[in-house]
Structure 1
């Protein structure tokens, strides 16, 4: 008997000891039973799956000066089939601690990895902070597989939303493309130290106002700690730093 996700699991295998094939089959079955609980336990470490947790991501400008922060608050954590899902709110504060925008998102951990709401990865750019985004948007997620390896290509994502700026309707599209695991690095922030995968990707960001689109292309890097979450990111344009984020506080 094995315990999987809190429930007993029984496997009965009948075989002849001299049969190599049956020995191999038994080994695979027993290995699978041991692996599944380990994958389930990994979910509990992610900061977005800690009920009532508050996560602070500080935002830095091109000169590496703190220019604001985003605070995520986990409002609920629940099980759904073989997944663990959380709901969160996110509030963006400027450098004067004034709350400018708020939103909601989701995080999900399952046996093969985690998926993260793309609202969490949209770059907060100073020139766009006056945009008041509305709740209407598509559901889009970025995938972080549990078997992540250096050199691995990761799935792309696209997110669209609408809002207002100075009373005018504004549309925003945000695409993450060419995601690739480029290496491993140890990252230290005010919140701790983690062994991370370094993920590089391209960003296509477009704001539409009065029928006119304003496209901007970036390159970006993020550092993702398995079993914990993203701890740092930077965005660049034409090889020059335009901003970044890092986790500066986790309160349970």
Structure 2
């Protein structure tokens, strides 16, 4: 009987290890996640995004996290739900760039049937002021209305660790690193539309998610988001 109980406890321990895995020192398991609050340039709340880990698996030494993101408007009414993947291997945390599409309510792309290819957004477990990070991109091809061709290109370039500073958000106070980048977004249908932005994200060791993000156009703040909770 004693040997049976030991075997049962051993199996339970193995199951728990499979259900909760570590990415850059952060334990990941289904049901965990985080929340971002979105604001416009005038500090008015425009909505929130709720990210939840739905599943954690191991693919030949790479941790794969299936993520679900739910968006809510300023009155906290549900707007849409989408999914994407994150991967973790060694000292790299890689986010599928389709995550950026998943959080956008783009009327032009709403009814489009698209195939996307991601050059993932990559972060490490340490940061050094003055260092550069890998570029990231998302390309898509498809149709709108069943006949009109559409292409989509999103590029993040010149990613640099600009500084280190203390930053306070609803989720707490962090000794964070400021990562700057140039972002371009181009959509081609009957007409070509392209926009250039500057982005800022604040990252902290031991936290997989952005502490704060800011979006600028022509050096003018357009919107920002803050980490409100981690669960």
Report the TM-score when normalising by structure 1.
0.71
Report the counterpart of residue 178 of structure 1 in structure 2.
158
Q: Distance in 1 between matches of 2:142 and 2:49?
A: 19
- Alpha-carbon separation, structure 1, partners of 2:38 and 2:193: 23
CA offset at residue 231 of structure 1?
Answer: 1.3
Distance in structure 1 (CA, Å) of the matches to 2:134 and 2:125: 14
The aligned counterpart of 2:69 is 90
Q: Secondary structure at the match of 1:78?
A: strand
- Give the whole-Å Cα distance in 2 for the aligned partners of 1:93 and 1:165: 26
> How far does residue 138 in structure 1 lie from its aligned partner after superposition?
1.6
- Residue 217 of structure 1 corresponds to 196
**SS class of match (2:24):** helix
Q: How many residues align?
A: 209
Partner residue of 1:43? 24
What does 1:1-252 correspond to in 2, within 5 Å?
43-45=24-26, 49-121=28-100, 128=106, 131-132=109-110, 136-161=115-140, 171-210=151-190, 212-229=191-208, 230-251=210-231
SS of equivalent to 1:138: strand
Name stretches of at least 5 consecutive residues in structure 1 with no aligned partner.
1-39
Aligned counterpart, 1:21: none
- Residues 176 and 185 (structure 1), Cα distance of their counterparts in 2 relative to 1, 3 Å cut: same
**CA deviation map 1:135-180 (0-9, x unaligned):** 6322331111234311111111111346899998754321100001
SS of equivalent residue, structure 1 residue 139: strand
Query: Structure 2 vs 1, CA of residues 197 and 110 (structure 1 numbering), >3 Å: closer, same or farther?
Result: same
| CA distance in structure 2 between the aligned counterparts of 1:214 and 1:145, rounded to whole angstroms | 33
Cα deviation, residue 234, structure 1 = 0.1
Cα separation, 2, equivalents of 1:135 and 1:44? 35
CA distance in 2, matches of 1:176, 1:75: 27
More deviation in 200-209 or 88-97? 88-97
Q: 1:185-214 CA deviation, whole Å, 9 max, x = no partner?
A: 22221112222111000000123332x111
What 5-or-longer segments of structure 2 have no aligned partner? 1-20
Task: Kindly report the root-mean-square deviation, in angstroms, between the aligned alpha carbons of the 2 structures.
Answer: 3.0
Give, in whole Å, the separation in 2 of the partners of 1:232 and 1:77: 25
Distance 2:213 2:144 in 1: 26
Return closer, same or farther for 1:162/1:50 CA change in 2, 3 Å cut-off: farther
- Given the two structures, how large is their TM-score scaled by the length of structure 2? 0.77
